[in-house]
Amino acid sequence: MNTKKHHSRTRAQESSNAIERMYITMRHLFNRGFYKPMGISGETLRQSLLLLRPEIYGSIGEEKAELEGLLYVIDRLPTGIEECTFINLTSDEGYGNSHFKPIIPEKRRRNCYRIDAEQMNIEITRGRSEIYDILTHLTFLFIESHKISNRVLIDEQGATTRDWIKLEKAVLSKKKLTQDEREVAITHVANILGRTFKELRSVYDEFATTSQPERLLHIVYWLGKLAIEEQIHNNKRTVTFSPVLRERIGHHIHGEIWADSIKATLLKNDLLERPIHIISANMHSVMNTLFVSSVLKPTKPTKDVFEVYESLSRKENEGLRNKINKEALLRGMIYIKDTSGANIDVQIFDTNKIDVSKIDIEVSEKVLKEDKPVILVMDYAFGEQAYETIDELLKPYKNKGKNTHLNVESVSIMGKAGILEGGKGDIMIPSAHIFEGTADNYPFSNELKKKDLEGQGVDVYEGSMITVLGTSLQNKDILKFFYNSTWQVIGLEMEGAHYQKAIQAASKVRSSISSNVKVRYAYYASDNPLETGATLASGGLGTSGVRPTYLITRTILKQILN
């Protein structure tokens, strides 16, 4: 009997290796201080990304341009980055007090500054995950830009196709385009991108902004123009990392300032020594759950509470949201707007000041009267930043030579994640976090159980979850491996292992908080990357995220207040 094993590599193994190579390369380039994405120094990143072909970047490996991936990336990078030859990643170095106006990307909270026509500065305050995120997106963007230049260049002297000349004329024209002129321009762009007129028409408005209705034309033109410059004149685009950023990264500078300001606020309001329950969530669901019934009860008696939450999430109901916020501030909520650069705002709820009779979830008055719990809600962290923030928050507070240990009774994490079984809006309850690319695993006893959330109109799944280095680096082969392997992974996200590592260190090793601290993790599905057309690039959750978000929030609050 032949017991020899065949050693051919599977696509999942190749992909896993490509991800590892990308991270090693990114760390090396960061330490080096600069690189040229389309030069020799950026070659490993480009090759790895093309080998990986992540789901989120769609047709990156094909000749035709990728539209949904382009929209996804453009929403996460500063407006105008396509025009810049020099991209400089900096720490918080004082640009906020200058004449430069901050540019904040649509889907990522980070300050960026356009220094001049050629240079964009991007401020990194959320740790290494943010650097990886940006470099991956830039690599995709520049690969796409070279697809454009390859299609429009006719010879080595820089002569271009008629389509390109017509696009240039439309983009550089100062006057507003008529519908006819716009459609003519789209026809030329469709040829340049290797896409149909219909495909471009369907995404055109999603790229548009009020100040730049023809933004897609603008992006394609500038990406192509800079790629032509690279190919004809060897004028390569450059990414640099400022010396201050390289010196500061990994030192928890922003996390420490952020945590100290929270503890100082707790001390000032006599809440530092009360039982504290930390919740990592958004800035609306806990506040709305606690105060919606006291504000809206008289006007909306017949509605299902989830319909009320859904109507609150609509743009036109800003007035109602402000009303709830006002009520919360009158009833013991303290809002801490982040100034540390961590980009994580905080709400503190003193349950002693809340009118219990007006909360529409079960509450134990005994718990509220005797324990007087304090609920601390922090906005979402990003990747490795989760470790930095929780690690600093759980440390004792040093004030006037005295160390005060926080009485943290529970840490609850509610997040968005990709699901591998089920679909958008379903709920995942993890029993362990596994760190991608390693066998590092963090099992824990989750206070939230499947039975707590079942039977409420949302499918619930229980199992291990994988903490990935970046959501934009996954492809179907890797995901199928996670799903079918004995790890029994139900979903993927970016923060779980980092949070758990910090909680375990504080409770089991450093003894900063009680070793009996309760943990709760629950995620709602933003996408199913195993389904074609169901990746993050296919658009947001819309109102389908409202029910799972509030279902998790209400369950967490029920457990804390009982």
Does residue 220 share a domain with residue 306? no
Domain termination site, one of 246, 278, 312 = 246
> How far is the C-alpha of 40 from the C-alpha of 561, rounded, in Å?
58
Amino acid at 151: R
pTM comes to 0.90
pLDDT at 99: 96
pLDDT at 269: 96
What residue ranges of the chain have pLDDT lower than 70? 1-7, 297-303, 532-542
Does residue 215 share a domain with residue 98? yes
Does residue 154 share a domain with residue 106? yes
Q: What is the pLDDT of residues 405-423, one digit of tens each?
A: 999 999 999 999 999 988 8
Q: Is residue 4 part of a domain?
A: no
> How far is the C-alpha of 518 from the C-alpha of 339, rounded, in Å?
29
Domain termination site, one of 205, 224, 246 = 246
CA angle 367, 368, 372 (to 5 degrees): 105
pLDDT at 506: 97
Question: And the tokens for 137?
Answer: 């997106």
Q: Is residue 94 part of a domain?
A: yes
**C-alpha distances in Å from residue 114, one per residue of 9, 103, 106, 466:** 45, 8, 16, 37
pLDDT at 250: 84
Q: Is residue 2 part of a domain?
A: no
Question: What φ, ψ does residue 361 adopt, rounded to 5°?
Answer: -125, 160
Does residue 178 share a domain with residue 35? yes
pLDDT at 508: 95
Question: And the tokens for 422?
Answer: 């089920």
Q: What is the CATH number of the domain that holds 500?
A: 3.40.50.1580
Question: And the tokens for 160?
Answer: 């271009």
Q: Is residue 210 part of a domain?
A: yes
Q: What is the pLDDT of residues 496-507, one digit of tens each?
A: 999 999 999 999
Does residue 235 share a domain with residue 160? yes
How many domains in the chain? 2
Does residue 472 share a domain with residue 446? yes
CA angle 439, 442, 443 (to 5 degrees): 120
Does residue 378 share a domain with residue 288? yes
Does residue 215 share a domain with residue 350? no
Does residue 95 share a domain with residue 178? yes
Q: Is residue 443 part of a domain?
A: yes
pLDDT at 355: 87
Does residue 317 share a domain with residue 238? no
Does residue 460 share a domain with residue 548? yes
Does residue 305 share a domain with residue 182? no
Q: Is residue 6 part of a domain?
A: no
Closest CA to 325 of 357, 290, 287: 287
What residues form DSSP beta bridges with 462? 429
Closest CA to 149 of 161, 137, 140: 161
Closest CA to 140 of 214, 223, 202, 205: 223
> How far is the C-alpha of 185 from the C-alpha of 519, rounded, in Å?
55
Q: Is residue 1 part of a domain?
A: no
Domain termination site, one of 246, 273, 303 = 246
- DSSP helix/strand/coil, 27: helix
Contact yes or no for 427/461 (Cβ under 8 A): yes
For residue 537, give its domain range: 250-561
Q: Is residue 427 part of a domain?
A: yes
Place of tokens 């919740």: 279
